[in-house]
Every structure is written in C-alpha cells, then in structure tokens.
Structure 1
Amino acid sequence: MKKTLVLLLSSSAYFLCLGQEKAIDTVYIFDNQMNKVKLFHKVTPITPQDAEKNSTNLSELLRFQSSIYIKENGRGAVSSPSFRGTSAPQTAFVWNGININSIFLGQGDINNIPLFGYDEIGVKAGGGSVIYGSGAIGGSIHLNNNLDFNKGFKASLYSEGGSFGTFNNFGTASYSNEKLSFKVSGNHSISQNDYKVEEKNYINRNGKYFNSTFNVGISYKIARHQTISWQSQFFDSTQNYPIFVENGNRTKYETQSTRSLLSWDITKSKFSNSLKAAYTEENFQYFGNYNAPKTSGSTGKNYIFKNDFNYFIVPELNVNIITEFQVNKGEGYQPDLQGVKTEGIGNVSRNVGSLAGLIRYFPTKDLRFEAGVKKDFVENISSPLLYSFSGKWSPVQWYNLGVNVSRNFRFPTFNDLYWNPGGNPNLKPERSYQMDMDHEFKWGNIKLALSPYYLYISDNIVWLPTAHGYWSPVNINKVKSYGLESQITFDKQLKEHHFRFNIGYTLAKSINQETKKQMMYVPLHKVFGNFDYQYSFLKLYVQGVFNGLTYTTTDEKREDAIDSYFVMNTGVSATILKKICLRF
C-alpha cells in the first residue's frame, strides 16, 4: 500500500484544491483544432485537479480515469496503451496539436511523457488520422497548454511525499496583461521504488526512477487579430530495471526529449489561419551494466511545418484546409553479439507531407455535419487516401446522437524499415476502417453515454522470429475489433454538499482473423469509477479500476494470462487559510 501526503500552495484566488473555474476573457489555445473536434467527437477532459489524484505518472492517470487499458512493466517502467482493442502504436499522442509518437517505435512510452504542466488532458475515442496523422487509429491522447490574457500574476506549488522514498514536486507561475501572457512550470519526481511483496517473498531491487520536466510558454498580441506564441517542453528521465536476485546484473534506461512549437495566428470573424513550426527530439540510452558506458541507444529529430486555414463561406458553412510537411531524421545503434561492429539503423531520413480538407455544415443549432479527406505523401511508401464523416444531432433536449466513420492509417517506423538486422523496407502502411455511434442521454443531474464501435485493420505490422535467429516485421494480421464504451455520470449540489461520480465500462473484443483469438494485452472487460464529495473546506475522493482476464500470448494460453484484478484508491483533503491545501 502506498501512502501519500500532499501540500498545495497558491498565490491567487484560483487554487488547485477547490478547482473553481473562473470566466476567461481571452485564451490562446495551442491546439486550435481541439474546439472543432469537440463539436463532433466525444473527448473526455481530465483537468489538472483530477490529475493530482493520480500523481505518479500518466499511466496511472489514464488507468483510473479513462477507458484505456495500460500495459505497464512495473511502476515507472515501460508503459503502453490499448485503446478499443488496438495496439500501442495505434494510439496517437498529440502535444499541442503535434503528433509526438516515436519515429522509432511508432508509439508513445507513457511513462516517458510528463504528467504535470498541461492545462488539459483530453482522451478522444475513435480514428482521427485526417487531422492528427499516422497512428490515430484506436484513439488519441491530447496534452494541451493554454495561455490566457489580462489575468495578472498567479503561482502555485504542489509537493508530495510518499512511501518507498517517493517525492514529487511541481511548481508553476504565470503573468499576463492585455498583450503579453507568460507561463513557466517545472516538475521533479523521484522514487526508490523498493516495495516488498511478502506473499511472493519479493523485493523490487534496483527499481529506482527519477525524472524532471521544464515547461515554458509565451504569447504576445502583435496586433488586434494577430498573436505570436511559443511553447516548449524539456524532459529528462532515468529508470533502473528491477532485478530478481540480490546479486543480479543492474541495468538502467535513460531518455531525454525536447519539444518546441512556434505559432503565428490570425483570427477574424470570417477566417482564421494558424502557421506552426515545431521541433521535436527524442534520445534513448540503454546501459547493460548500471555503471558501464551505454550499450545501445537512438536519437530522433523531427522538423514540422503546419498551416491550418479556416474560412466561413456563410455562417452555416465552414471550410478548413490543413497542410503539413515533416523531415524525420534518426540514428539508432547497438553492438552485435561479439561487441565488434555497430548494428542498428544508421543515419536515416524521411520526408512526409500531407494535404487535408474538411467541410463543416451547421444547418440548425441541433444538427451539424463534418466531412474530411486527406492525402499523405510519405517518402518511399504508398499511403492510402483517408477520409472521415461525422454528424451530430439533438432531436430532443435529453438525447444526442453522434455518428463517425473514417479511414485511418499508420506508416512503418524507422525500426520497422531499417533496423539491421531485421528491418523490412517493403512494409505497407497499416490501414483501418472504423465506425462508431455516440448515444448521450440526460435526466436531470444524470448523464449516460453509450458508444458501440467497430474497427477493421488490415496489413497489421508484427515482428516475428526468422530462421536466421533474429526478428523481422511483416504485414500479416487482419484484426476486427468491436465492442462498447459506456459511462454514467452524476453531479449534484445540495447547499454546501457537492456530489460527483462517474462509472465507465468497456467491452473490447479484438480478434486476430488468422488465429481467431483475442489480441494480446486486450482485456475483454474494464470498469473504472471515480467518486468525489465536498463539504465546505473538506474533500473526499474514491476511485477504482477493474481489469478482466488479459492474455499475454497469441494462443490465449491460460497459465500465462494476467488474472482479473481490482484496485482502489482513496484520499481526503482540507483547504486551510484559503490558499493552502493538505491531502492524504
């Protein structure tokens, strides 16, 4: 059992513990597409206040507060998502509108993506490659920063201490006037992570991890309708790999990432244009011996240019043109078995361009449609024509209906194509067709959402052993994934008593069409729930997650499966002196 004590401090009337929202006159949103996406698709927001309930890492947050299944190789270690029965590379991580999945693995290692420093985390179910590119097949996870104007100075401090030598500190400060907005934040987390499992006579030796994050954002109004903005994030992390015997070989893994985004925005009543230039870099090093030089690693650099033009022909009809160009550069290396020569991917580069067009039609306030088409131009790879169609209708006050159909894709990664030995330069992109329906019901303070879905994925990329003793990727699997996402929420204020709860259930049937077996690391059932109660200065929360039986082999071998389990967290907090919050 992990025990945690948290202290929160704030310098303004807006403080983290109570989570009261104030009206904001002007806000610069780095992901300018997100407000449009929310008009047609279900996006589950996670506020900074909710994120503090699962302050360990992003994996823990998504596990307890979303329908996503998280496969984690130990606390703070390698972690990957399964969204609607898909694999980890088929979930897109989007930072301020920019896809940040690794160019080597094609996925986001969740524990190497910071948890703190965002103004909103959003979970979008369903395909979104027309807007957010390769990998947005099962869904996408959005990490967004905003900058508001004319709000003066604000600052807050979050400090946490817990068992197993765990300490977590996060601080943020911001200042804004009518023309300038500036925000800076930093986070440092460390844990010895040396927990014991007495029933198994196990000690998590060499499990220490620590990471640091620094975020800075600035926005300046150069004219009445024009804004120049910059957002950057710097992340550094070290994770030791646990050993199972006291004298085992101690290894570790280090990673550093840099993300920087410059944006020039023009916003008028009939049109808007957002021109973005971004640079992202990822570095990984593996140490086969804790104190020895690194034994393998990689460096990836991306240069991204993106323009988003939006025009209202008439108030009911909107046209959106999105163009993007990327240069991806990578180098990966590791010594061969004799330690003589270097293997890996060498120095490789790839150009990627895309052109997308969307039309949005709002015939009435209760009815809206969106249609989109996109063509990607990936060097040496033939990419499919992508499309999407969405509609949302509110026939009565208590019921909303949404329909989404799309074709999505994921192109091969650098490791898939160039790793030596084993890379396969003849791989085709993964292609997906998906359809879902959103049914939303509302009765007073109760809301119920039901979302049946269906996905068909062809040319799935999988790594298989070869006769030469190494593994190699091939296009082999066809996967059908179908199921149901559902959630019920309740929010009620009774004088000084505030009650809020939500319970979500996910059914995910994901079948490999060759073996007719459930895909690995896709539980058939998942249930998650959160309950909050507030009275005056006191606050209580309880949350839990149930994961059903999860197979870890392609043949559904029962003895190797992860048994179903249930985990529950609880916490209580008190606000004292208006700007200090204590939580346990």
Structure 2
Amino acid sequence: MKKIILIFFFASTCLHGRAQSITDSIQVLDEIVLSDSKLIHYASGVNQSVLNDSILKNNSRSLTSLLAFNSNLYFKENGYGMVSSPSFRGTNASQTAVIWNGININSQLNGQADFNTLSSSNFNSISIRSGGGSVQYGSGAIGGSIHLNNKLAFNTHFENTVEASYGSFNTKQTGFKSSFGTNLFSVNFGLFYVDSDNDYKFLGTNKVNENGAFENLNLNVNLGYFISKNDVLKLYSQSYIGEREFSGTLVAPARSKYEDENYRNMLEWVRISGMFNSSLKAGHLQEVFKYFENKNTDNYTFGKVNTYFINHSLNVRLSEKLQFKTILDYNSYEGAGSSFGNPKRDAFSTTILLNHKVTEKLSYGLNLRKDFTSGFESPFVYSLDAAYQVTDTYKILMNGSKNYRVPTFNDLYWNPGGNLDLVPESSYQLDFGQQLHFEYFNFKLNGYYIHTEDLIQWTPNNSGVWSPKNVTESQSYGAELEMESYYRVKAHQFKFNAHYSYTVSENMETKKQLIYVPFHKANTSFSYGHKKFNMYYQHMYNGEVSIIGSTLTGYNVGNMGLGYSLNENGHINYEINFKINNLYNTYYENVALRPMPNRNYQIQTIIKF
C-alpha cells in the first residue's frame, strides 16, 4: 500500500509540473488561502452557512454558544463549561464531524468533539455544512459537519488584537491575536486563556455549582511561505490544555476532575501549475486525558491516542466548466489507556470528486470513496449533488449520499463493556433545498431524510454494565429554515438572522423519538450599529426533549450586548463591550438534573493596533 501511495505522489507531481495552461486567478486564491478547498469547489448542491465576523465577535466565549445561538444545531452540556455534544438533524455527537483545515478531528476514543475545548476565537472562518459528507470527510460525517479554518492572507499587512474580559462567577478571559505578512509569506498567531470559578446558583434551590471550576489555554499558530512562484508551504498548529472539575447534579454532588490536552500539527505543500493543482498534507494529532474520581487524590485513569496522517489531493481543471479531484489518504492510530489497552488501527481511502457546470444555471457533482480499515469492511460510499439557478433570485439544491461511521476505540475495547463484534454504521440521506437571494434578504429552506442501519448505542446489560451494540434501524426527517437580512441607511446598520428546525428522529422498531432530540428548535438575533455604537440581542428556544423515563421541559433564553468604539480613526482603536447572558434569569437544563447558569454578566475590552 505504501508503494502505491508513493508512486501516485510521484506520478501526479511530474504530471502537473509539465502543464503550461494559464492558471485561473480565483481558483489559485482559493487553493492557497483555504486549506479545505473541497468546501468551495465540490458542494454545489449542499446547503452551507458561513458565520461572519460580527457573529464570531458577539459569541467569543465558546464555540458551543456560537453555534447554539446561530445555527440549527442542538447542544447538550453537562453544566456550563463541561462536556458539550452537538446533535445535527437528529443524529448524535459522533455522527457530526468537526473538520480542522480539511482534517477530521473527531476523537478516536468516543467519536466526538467536545465543543467546549474549541475556542471560536482561534479561527477566522467557521462554516456549517448540512447533511452527509462521508465521501469528503470520512467516518462520522452523517448529520453534518462543522468546518474550522485558518485563512492565510498573502498581502502586506500587520494587525494585532488584545482582548480582556471579566464576568460573573469570577470568569476571566484574556487573548492576543496577531497577523502579518507580505505577498511571499503570511503568519497568524492566537493565544487565549480562560479561568472561571463557575460557581453559579441553581435557581429555585439553595445550591450552587460547587465542583464546576475550569481553566484552559488555546494556542494557535499558522504560517505560509511561497518557496517558488508555484509552490507554497503552510504550517498549521493548534494546542489546547485544559483542567475541569466535573459538575455534579441536583441530587448527586461531585468531586471529580478531568485534565485533557489536544495537539494538532499539519504541514501542507501546495503546488499550482496550469490546469493542475496539488496538495500534500502530513501531520500528527494527539489527544490525552486524565480522569480523577477524587480531585484531592493522585489516583487517576488515563487515555491517549496518536494519529499520524498523510494526504495527497490532485485537482485537474479540464475547462472552466469541468474539474475533478483525486484524494489518497492514509491514517495510523495508536492508542493507550487504563480502560482500553493499546489498540492500533490503520485506514487508507481513495476518493474521486467531480464537478461539472453544465450551463450558467445548472451544475452537479459526483463523489466516490472507498475505505480500507484494519479490522473492518468499510462500506463503499458515494454522493450526488446538483444545483439549478431558476432565476436570478431563486435557486434549487438537491443531494443524496451514503455515509458511514466506524466503531471507536471505546466502542470496541472499553473494559468493561467493549464489543469486538460491532460493525460500522451506514446511512442514506436525501436532501432538497430552496434558496431566495435578494439585495437585503436571504432565505433558505431544506427538507431531508436520513436512514441509518446498524446504529451503535450503549445500553446496560443484565449485569448493569453498559455496552455498545448495533441496534435496530433509525430514521430522521424534518425541515430547516434560515433567514438573513442586512440593511444600511446612511450611518445606521441593521442585521437580522433566524433559524428554525423541525426534527423527527426515531427508533424504527419502537417508533419513539430518540433521547435528547427536540422536535422544535429556533433562534434569532438582531444587531444595530451607528457610528461608534453597536448593540445586539439574541434569543434561543429549545423544545421539549425525551430522556430515559421522562422528558425535559423546553426553554427560552435571551442574551443582550452593548458596545462602544473609541479612537476609531487612530492607530490604536479601543472597544468596550458589555453583555448580559440569560437575560430573563431562566431556569433550564439541557441535560437532566444539570442546571445551566442564572443571569450573568461580562465586560470586555478589545484593543486593535
């Protein structure tokens, strides 16, 4: 297998090195600036949303808050700052892929990404891709995918930002970002630290969140350099170091602690030569954790996984209307832990992507992928998407796909409870979307259906030990609505956006809604700016959800923020922001018996120079 990969790399490099065609300037820019170019060029019929800078700034505290208030994703949090898991279109957290600069970073242990370990301030581009994407992004991309990208701008610039905030529950946050470069090199750097006692009151009781303190550090460094007219080297590096006390519940106090670290490093060589563009990526991911049942002792359980990967893609633009991409991807996983031994896994995949713009109004894409994973017979997956521009304002999108998820190390090897007889989940999806685009208003409506076989679920056996099994089939179907409006009158700026989702996700045998999937979820936000002043309001509604043996009541939560800029025209600009979270002091739980914070406040200073 390794010989095949090397031969392919050599052949493709020689091939595109001989090309003499004139490079399309827009394509070159996309390939250089955004590492995950598949998101742009090979998803014509897939609904995508990009979160703009103002939304990122208003939700800088956490990626969980950002997406909960500005997308159709539903989140479960085991208390504020604790483990945060998304649900996309009725699927679970391990069926939602998180993509970092084109690389799937879901945990090899539990198959999920903890969104409270990912700082939204670390990224300058965050996109949401609805629906199945296993062909392009691998295991777990069933309900949808979240794309976290670091753009490198090759122009002369030097920009710095310092942030500092203080809030309720003795919450302190500091950060520094810097970006500089020329037409030959580009560098951006980010450092963010958060520390909180997190001892909020449980509304309606005499209790507080006694064991919820947390602190974490995020470091982000990205470099790019033109080593020749046609070649760019890029380095992406991200580190997270965190320590959390795990909050208890209303009926069971806790004294546990969790320490975790995540390191991601990737080197990418991009070569642009005529009609051929290639990208060679190599890197290392590491996840490490220690769990202390009693934070006052030195006894702990641990686990870690090292992932080594190499990825080569070759994009061929046959004409202005037709292009295709081939991808070879190899991953080696090495785990070690007190509860699952020393598992290893190798995975190799081949992928072909095609995009054809038939006319100015009609385009389609065809994607094929086959994985070869040690210990499994991974399914052959595929997708077909199409987009038709009916009028200047009205567009239709359609896509269908087969997707999959392989069992994780925890699923297979956890002691006690692991199940070596598990097989990969497989899923089929259909999606139909309509979009209206006007000068001041955008509207999107999507309907979808997802059918999943061999769904992996953890359930207690006769001895009370939880163990995973491939259970009966499940299905999810529903509709998603997105609205966005922007209007400007002289110095007055108005922005509005809203999301609504109706989701049915049920076990096909019992015909019951799966737990922690609301039938209804909605959010809306409004912002107003005038010269140096800005303000915004955001609101979220989560409907009632089923839990084991009961239900959780739906809830409404609102946040409000004010901001004022000083010395806007000077070399150093200052901005002061004030935010009220949970404005109406609402009692709510999104995980049973784990109340979320009462009304709380945050004041923030931002200095740009």
Residues 399-425 of structure 1, C-alpha deviations (whole Å, 9 max, x = no match)? 000001000000000111112222111
8 Å Cα contact 1:205-1:244 kept in structure 2: no
State the secondary structure of the residue aligned to 1:61: helix
Q: 1:118 to 1:294 in 2, by over 3 A?
A: farther
The Cα of 1:48 is off from its aligned counterpart by 4.3
Is 1:308–2:308 an aligned residue pair?
no
What residue is the counterpart of 1:299 in the other structure? 304
Q: 1:245 to 1:538 in 2, by over 3 A?
A: closer
Q: What TM-score, normalized by structure 1, do the two folds share? A: 0.91
Of 318, 324, 331, which aligns to 2:329? 324
What residue is the counterpart of 1:171 in the other structure? 176
The Cα of 1:249 is off from its aligned counterpart by 5.2
State the secondary structure of the residue aligned to 1:81: strand
What residue is the counterpart of 2:8 in the other structure? none
Cα distance between partner residues in 1 of 2:521 and 2:248? 30
8 Å Cα contact 1:462-1:477 kept in structure 2: no
Structure 2: 5+ residue stretches without partners: 1-27, 579-609
Is 1:467–2:472 an aligned residue pair?
no
State the secondary structure of the residue aligned to 1:49: helix
Cα distance between partner residues in 2 of 1:40 and 1:217? 31
What residue is the counterpart of 2:478 in the other structure? 483
The Cα of 1:182 is off from its aligned counterpart by 1.3
What residue is the counterpart of 1:571 in the other structure? 561
Cα distance between partner residues in 2 of 1:245 and 1:294? 26
User: Which shifted more, 108-117 or 305-314?
Assistant: 108-117
Is 1:352–2:347 an aligned residue pair?
yes
Q: 1:464 to 1:214 in 2, by over 3 A?
A: same
What residue is the counterpart of 1:496 in the other structure? 491
The Cα of 1:165 is off from its aligned counterpart by 0.3
User: Which shifted more, 242-251 or 436-445?
Assistant: 242-251
Cα distance between partner residues in 2 of 1:44 and 1:249? 39
Cα distance between partner residues in 2 of 1:247 and 1:94? 36
What residue is the counterpart of 2:256 in the other structure? 251
Of 275, 284, 298, which aligns to 1:279? 284
The Cα of 1:45 is off from its aligned counterpart by 1.2
Cα distance between partner residues in 1 of 2:169 and 2:248? 17
Structure 1: 5+ residue stretches without partners: 1-23, 334-343
User: Which shifted more, 25-34 or 216-225?
Assistant: 25-34
Q: What TM-score, normalized by structure 2, do the two folds share? A: 0.87
Matched residue type, 2:287: E
Of 88, 97, 122, which aligns to 1:92? 97
What residue is the counterpart of 1:521 in the other structure? 516
Of 403, 409, 427, which aligns to 1:414? 409
User: Which shifted more, 56-65 or 228-237?
Assistant: 56-65
The Cα of 1:245 is off from its aligned counterpart by 8.8
8 Å Cα contact 1:48-1:118 kept in structure 2: no
Cα distance between partner residues in 2 of 1:301 and 1:247? 35
The Cα of 1:28 is off from its aligned counterpart by 2.2
The Cα of 1:219 is off from its aligned counterpart by 0.6
Cα distance between partner residues in 1 of 2:478 and 2:504? 6
Cα distance between partner residues in 2 of 1:243 and 1:364? 59
Cα distance between partner residues in 2 of 1:232 and 1:576? 34
User: Which shifted more, 254-263 or 243-252?
Assistant: 243-252
Q: 1:396 to 1:243 in 2, by over 3 A?
A: closer
Matched residue type, 1:567: V
8 Å Cα contact 2:309-2:331 kept in structure 1: yes
Of 206, 214, 217, which aligns to 1:201? 206
User: Which shifted more, 453-462 or 290-299?
Assistant: 290-299
Q: 1:477 to 1:56 in 2, by over 3 A?
A: farther
What residue is the counterpart of 1:159 in the other structure? 164
8 Å Cα contact 1:523-1:550 kept in structure 2: yes
What residue is the counterpart of 2:447 in the other structure? 452
What residue is the counterpart of 2:57 in the other structure? 52
State the secondary structure of the residue aligned to 1:199: coil
Of 539, 545, 548, which aligns to 2:543? 548
8 Å Cα contact 2:44-2:386 kept in structure 1: no
Cα distance between partner residues in 2 of 1:470 and 1:246? 22
8 Å Cα contact 1:114-1:235 kept in structure 2: no
Question: What percentage of residue pairs aligned between the two structures are identical?
Answer: 35
Matched residue type, 2:40: N
Q: 1:427 to 1:451 in 2, by over 3 A?
A: same
8 Å Cα contact 1:205-1:246 kept in structure 2: no
The Cα of 1:443 is off from its aligned counterpart by 4.0
**Coordinate RMSD, CA, aligned:** 1.7
8 Å Cα contact 1:78-1:111 kept in structure 2: yes
State the secondary structure of the residue aligned to 2:140: coil
Is 1:83–2:83 an aligned residue pair?
no
Is 1:31–2:21 an aligned residue pair?
no
Cα distance between partner residues in 1 of 2:386 and 2:217? 42
State the secondary structure of the residue aligned to 2:111: coil
Cα distance between partner residues in 1 of 2:52 and 2:488? 20
Of 177, 195, 204, which aligns to 1:190? 195
What residue is the counterpart of 1:425 in the other structure? 420
* Structure 1 residue ranges, 4+ long, deviating more than 3 angstroms after superposition: 24-27, 37-40, 243-249
State the secondary structure of the residue aligned to 1:206: coil
Map residues 202-241 of structure 1 onto 2, 5 A cutoff: 202-241=207-246
8 Å Cα contact 2:211-2:254 kept in structure 1: no
What residue is the counterpart of 1:561 in the other structure? 551
8 Å Cα contact 1:505-1:525 kept in structure 2: yes
Matched residue type, 2:246: Y
State the secondary structure of the residue aligned to 2:340: strand
State the secondary structure of the residue aligned to 1:551: strand
Cα distance between partner residues in 1 of 2:541 and 2:49? 19
Alignment coverage as a number of residue pairs: 546
What residue is the counterpart of 1:21 in the other structure? none
State the secondary structure of the residue aligned to 1:364: coil
Q: 1:368 to 1:541 in 2, by over 3 A?
A: same
In proportion to residue count, which structure has more strand?
1
8 Å Cα contact 2:365-2:385 kept in structure 1: yes
User: Which shifted more, 507-516 or 31-40?
Assistant: 31-40
Is 1:534–2:524 an aligned residue pair?
no
User: Which shifted more, 133-142 or 492-501?
Assistant: 492-501
8 Å Cα contact 2:172-2:195 kept in structure 1: yes
Q: 1:178 to 1:357 in 2, by over 3 A?
A: same
Cα distance between partner residues in 2 of 1:242 and 1:385? 42
Cα distance between partner residues in 2 of 1:395 and 1:123? 24
Residues 519-555 of structure 1, C-alpha deviations (whole Å, 9 max, x = no match)? 11100000111111111111111101000001112xx
State the secondary structure of the residue aligned to 1:147: coil
Of 569, 579, 582, which aligns to 2:576? 582
Matched residue type, 1:212: L
Is 1:102–2:107 an aligned residue pair?
yes
What residue is the counterpart of 1:336 in the other structure? none
Residues 464-512 of structure 1, C-alpha deviations (whole Å, 9 max, x = no match)? 2223442221111311100000012111111111111011110000011
